[in-house]
Structure 1
Amino acid sequence: MRVVVIGLGVQGRKRTAIAGPEVVAIVDPVLPDAGYRRIEDVPLSSYDAALLCVPDDPKVELLTYLLGNGKHALVEKPLLSEREADLSALAALAAKTGTVCYTAYNHRFEPHFVRMRDLIQSGKLGEIYTVRMYYGNGTAAQVKASPWRDTGTGVLFDLGSHLLDTLSFWLGPISQPFKVISASRFENLSFDHVTFGAAGKPLLQLETSLLSWRNHFYADVHAEKGSAHITSLCKWGPSTFIQRGRVLPSGRPDEDAVTLVQADPTWALEYDHFKSLCTNGGSALETDMWISRTLNSLGAAALSGEGQ
């Protein structure tokens, strides 16, 4: 497959390295080592798909151009719009042209995330009572140095989108509404620490931060017949998955643990998945629409002062 990389920032360089010789052109409006300034200048006959590594604002316009011209597209998360009709139009355009519009949430390819999904869907845990996740990195200073990143909702949209997608990956469609619990600006103009969640069954508790000086992720799932836990991601390793079986009426549970010490496999696995979709078909934006609705609602609440 012949691909164009649009946007040569941190993510764009990662995508370029993964795609390797399949990259036939690079587009960036500023950087001198890009061959093109605009995607419209790249001959349509020269490529099959594009990898969009761009800020949020131009995504819908770029995707409309690509899908409308029969080109598959992988776009870095999140895919958001204040108008849900924009995403509906993209879905309709992809269906009309037979193209793939895929939003990249690479953590779906974390080995322990797949293990958690399979365990939950197996029914071995029984009814899921609570899901709690924390995702934090130490990028507050880098965000502060970037005029386009240190604006608006900050970490809520950036890392919160990952957590919402993970919930969907593990649990399927989620119906209960979310609310902001706290939204703080400790070091940044934008929010650098946000907690939010949803009441009901399961109870969902999510926390995101740019103030975790050691990058960290954890997930705790408590359920009727036991619990499951993830500590860290492969890129920050070691990454551990623990499954515990409930002992009745109470007592120390049986426990199985798997620890991985390896390089981050998610980028290559995700790219392979995208190419498979392009070959075999399959493109849906329902999860993106839900994430967009949820984040827009949470963002409006946070910016209005809710949770502060």
Structure 2
Amino acid sequence: MKVIVVGYGIQGHKRFKVAGEDAVGIVDPVAPEANWRRLEDVPIDRFDAAIVCTPDSPKIGLLRHLLERGKHVLVEKPLFAANGDDFRALEALARRTGALCVTAYNHRFEPHFVRMRDLLLSGRLGSVYRCRMFYGNGTARLVRNSAWRDTGDGVLGDLGSHLLDTVRFWFGDVADGFRIVSAERFENRAPDHVVIAAEGRPQIELEMTLLSWRNYFTCDVFAEHGSAHIESLCKWGPSSFIHRTRVLPSGRPPEESQILVQDDPTWALEYAHFKQLCEARTETDLSNDIWLHRALTRLGREIQAGNAA
């Protein structure tokens, strides 16, 4: 499969490297390494698929251009549009031309995230009571210095999209019942520390920040027959997964523990999965993007309303 990378920033560099021999060119208006300045300049017979790593605003137009020509697309998260109808139109276009459009959520390929999903699906935990996640990095100053990144809902769209997608990866099609617990602008114009939560079963609490000077992820799942815990990601390793089995009526639980010390495998695994989907001629399904867009848009409006008040 011949692939072009559209947008050669931080993510574009990573994607180009992972594509390896499949990568045949770069589209970027300013990068000196670029082969073409505009997507329209790329000869249609030079590539089969594109990895789109641009800012949010031009994405829909770029995807439309590619899908109309039957080109498969892996697009960096989050995929935003003016409204849900844009997603449905893209989905219909992709299905009509036989092209696959997939939004990249590489944490679905994090080994401990897969392990958590498999444990939940196994039923060994029984009824799940509560899940809480924290995802933080220290990029507040970098974001503040970026004209296009320090806007809108800030860290909510950036890290919150990963966390909400992970909730759906683990628990399936959960209800969109999330609310803003807090949204702070400690250093930036846009929110740089946000907490959201949802009631029900399981209760879910998601905290995200650009003010964690050491990059950090943690998750705790509390359930009827035990609990499960993730600390850190492979890229920040070592990364650990602990499954504790409840002892009745009480007592110290036996636990299974796995610790990984390795490079981040998610980018290569996600690209390999994308290629497999393309080869299998998988039909485009943007239902997850529609759900995430609806949830993030509503939560973003809550933040703006709270700020105005």
Name the TM-score class by shorter chain.
over 0.9
In structure 2, how many angstroms separate the alpha carbons of the residues matched to 1:30 and 1:148? 16
| Counterpart position of 2:300 | 299
1:125-274 correspondence to structure 2 within 5 Å:
125-274=125-274
Amino acid corresponding to residue 284 of structure 1 in structure 2: D
Contact map agreement 2:176 2:295 (CA 8 A) in 1: no
Unpaired segments ≥5 residues, structure 1: none
Structure 1 residue 145: Cα displacement? 0.9
Structure 1 residue 126: Cα displacement? 0.8
Residues 193-238 of structure 1: CA distance to partner in whole angstroms, max 9, x if unpaired?
A: 0000111111010000000000000111111111110000000000
Contact map agreement 1:176 1:199 (CA 8 A) in 2: no
1:80 aligns to 2:80 (yes or no): yes
Change (3 A) 1:208 1:198: same
Structure 1 residue 281: Cα displacement? 2.5
Higher mean C-alpha displacement, 22-31 vs 49-58: 22-31
Residues 52-71 of structure 1: CA distance to partner in whole angstroms, max 9, x if unpaired?
A: 00011111111111111100
SS in 2 for 1:152: coil
Identity between Structure 1 and Structure 2 (%): 59
In structure 2, how many angstroms separate the alpha carbons of the residues matched to 1:307 and 1:105? 32
Structure 1 residue 176: Cα displacement? 4.3
1:96-111 correspondence to structure 2 within 5 Å:
96-111=96-111
Structure 1 residue 306: Cα displacement? 6.4
Structure 1 residue 263: Cα displacement? 0.4
Structure 1 residue 307: Cα displacement? 11
Contact map agreement 1:180 1:306 (CA 8 A) in 2: no
Amino acid corresponding to residue 270 of structure 2 in structure 1: E
Amino acid corresponding to residue 229 of structure 1 in structure 2: H
SS in 1 for 2:20: helix
In structure 2, how many angstroms separate the alpha carbons of the residues matched to 1:226 and 1:245? 4
Runs of 4+ more than 6 Å apart:
none
Unpaired segments ≥5 residues, structure 2: none
In structure 2, how many angstroms separate the alpha carbons of the residues matched to 1:93 and 1:112? 35
In structure 2, how many angstroms separate the alpha carbons of the residues matched to 1:300 and 1:118? 34
SS in 1 for 2:55: coil
Amino acid corresponding to residue 289 of structure 1 in structure 2: I
Residues 276-295 of structure 1: CA distance to partner in whole angstroms, max 9, x if unpaired?
A: 01100323111111000000
Amino acid corresponding to residue 157 of structure 2 in structure 1: F
In structure 1, how many angstroms separate the alpha carbons of the residues matched to 2:281 and 2:182? 41
| Counterpart position of 1:114 | 114
In structure 2, how many angstroms separate the alpha carbons of the residues matched to 1:181 and 1:275? 39
| Counterpart position of 1:4 | 4
In structure 2, how many angstroms separate the alpha carbons of the residues matched to 1:13 and 1:176? 34
In structure 1, how many angstroms separate the alpha carbons of the residues matched to 2:267 and 2:103? 13
In structure 1, how many angstroms separate the alpha carbons of the residues matched to 2:16 and 2:101? 19
Amino acid corresponding to residue 305 of structure 1 in structure 2: G
| Counterpart position of 2:291 | 290
| Counterpart position of 1:43 | 43
1:48-59 correspondence to structure 2 within 5 Å:
48-59=48-59
SS in 2 for 1:8: coil
| Counterpart position of 1:25 | 25
1:276 aligns to 2:276 (yes or no): yes
SS in 1 for 2:65: helix
What root-mean-square deviation, in Å, do the aligned CA atoms of Structure 1 and Structure 2 show?
A: 1.2
In structure 2, how many angstroms separate the alpha carbons of the residues matched to 1:77 and 1:181? 24
Contact map agreement 1:135 1:217 (CA 8 A) in 2: yes
Contact map agreement 1:176 1:200 (CA 8 A) in 2: no
Contact map agreement 1:144 1:150 (CA 8 A) in 2: yes
In structure 1, how many angstroms separate the alpha carbons of the residues matched to 2:62 and 2:185? 32
Residues 146-182 of structure 1: CA distance to partner in whole angstroms, max 9, x if unpaired?
A: 1110111110000000001101101110114110000
Change (3 A) 1:71 1:304: same
Amino acid corresponding to residue 301 of structure 2 in structure 1: A
Contact map agreement 1:181 1:307 (CA 8 A) in 2: no
Higher mean C-alpha displacement, 156-165 vs 25-34: 25-34
Contact map agreement 1:182 1:307 (CA 8 A) in 2: no
SS in 1 for 2:306: coil
Contact map agreement 2:64 2:90 (CA 8 A) in 1: yes
